[in-house]
Amino acid sequence: MKVKLILTAGLFMLFFLGEIAITFSYKQENDRNYIVPGAVPLSYKIDNAESATVQTAAVDSIVSEFLKKYNVVGASVAIAKDGRLVYSKGFGVANREIADSVTPRHLFRIASVSKLITAVAILKLVEDEKLDLQARVFGQEGILNDPTYLNYKDKRYEQITVHQLLNHTAGWNGNKADPIFNSLYIARVMDIEPPARISDVIEFSLNKKLDFTPGKKYSYSNLGYAVLGEIIKKVTGMEYEDYVQFAILHPLGIYDMHIGRSFYDEKYPNEVRYHDLTQNSFVWSYDGNGDLVPAEYGGNNIELLGAAGGWVASAPELVKLMVAIDGFESKPDILTKQTIEYMTKARSHTRKLIGWRGADGYGTWWRTGTLAGTTALIMRHSNEINWVVLLNTTTKNRSHIHNQLSQTMYRALRSVDEWPDFDLFNYEPDVGKEPQFAILEKLN
């Protein structure tokens, strides 16, 4: 029976301490893709061939047409149905210079989709009674009451709660210059050696008046989610990335999602190269070295974006996370039903959702992400379909690309009469015949 979709108007707790200690010993200063001992990432187990089925042949064709129409260099698509991974395939090339074909193992920057990951981590802490949604963030009685953060000029900062950071009502106007993307300027104003740290950016912001009283208005804020990352660090005593990996990702069997890096020579071995078709000029490097660099490699400080937009992921592992927060009973969720409802109950269509970017009131939720050189879109539908599309390209029609992507995926999903009955989440290949395992040997 053909899958029917409603076209929308818009779009475990921590591992045992012993295991944590063992894994931390693997994480060296310059180790760009450390693997948990004995763990093989899902994305390394599957290749394009596993999704070459008759049932989904039209999906291949529709996605390929999209790449050609919009000059997209490379893409990765993953689709889950009823909690099963039924499709995961790469398109185009990961790097035009070496003509490396995209496969499910390739990592992409996911930009603001990172906010969904941060929201899940915060809400896990709430469920574990380590954090209160109504807790105050700043001030002597706040969570971030370090001396660095007590020199604020607007008393309204003391009103900001965790909940308001989550739903973008903390008081910052996101339409103004975004401090997360102006770290070089902040370093110069504060007379500190660049690159500016997140603590510097927060301190700089606290020395300015809030744009409105917390809780009174919605305004999308990268800064708010960066602050949430610092809250996670303060509450857990762990680095933000480490907590998310060990409390959320690793318990779900997700081992190849990380905070990315800014320059090309710092990328993960299996990370794509990014291409920004909208850039005709260079920008100053965020680290203050005086170099002019392409925006996608050094124009933005990806580590600083962190909790607001710094994650890299493969499509199949990202859709595995979606299955764990989709509210369906086909697979256990990592959050309770009440928490998922709190995240996704439609409030003014796209506003005041938690982590997600929008919901249509009919069970479709979506999250977008865009940075120089990368585009990401994920969606959850009421018929138990979750999907991910990641591009290593910023197209010239950047402002409309998510709408075009969603329309393309609606066409692709409608083309399938019956999904394959396998589950690639459980796929176990013959190690000796899988070439990507040779890469794992090098990484270990």
List helix spans (H) across 83-190. Answer: 114-127, 162-166, 183-189
Q: Report yes or no: 262 and 298 within 8 Å, Cβ to Cβ.
A: yes
Mean pLDDT of the chain: 89
Measure the CA–CA gap between 412 and 51, rounded to whole angstroms: 14
DSSP code of residue 402: H
Report phi then psi at 243, rounded to 5. -60, -45
Whether residue 141 is predicted with pLDDT greater than 80 in this model: the reply is yes
DSSP-based three-state secondary structure for 352: coil
Measure the CA–CA gap between 37 and 384, rounded to whole angstroms: 33
pLDDT given for residue 320 in this prediction: 98
Terminal Cα-to-Cα distance of the chain (whole angstroms):
45
Determine which of 66-80, 130-144, 320-334, 345-359 has the lowest per-residue pLDDT on average.
Answer: 345-359
pLDDT band of residue 249 (cuts 50, 70, 90) is: very high
Measure the CA–CA gap between 171 and 161, rounded to whole angstroms: 11
DSSP code of residue 247: I
Report phi then psi at 180, rounded to 5. -65, -30
> pLDDT, tens digit, for every residue of 149-178?
999 989 999 999 999 999 999 999 988 889
pLDDT band of residue 439 (cuts 50, 70, 90) is: very low
> pLDDT, tens digit, for every residue of 173-188?
988 889 999 999 999 9
Mean pLDDT value across residues 319-333: 97
DSSP code of residue 392: S
User: Count of alpha carbons within 13 Å of 46, Cβ hemisphere only?
Assistant: 26
pLDDT given for residue 106 in this prediction: 98
Report phi then psi at 290, rounded to 5. 85, 0
pTM (two decimals): 0.90
Measure the CA–CA gap between 134 and 162, rounded to whole angstroms: 6
Measure the CA–CA gap between 439 and 271, rounded to whole angstroms: 12
Measure the CA–CA gap between 342 and 122, rounded to whole angstroms: 13
pLDDT band of residue 14 (cuts 50, 70, 90) is: very low
Mean pLDDT value across residues 284-296: 95
- Percent of the chain past pLDDT 90, that is, above it, reads 81
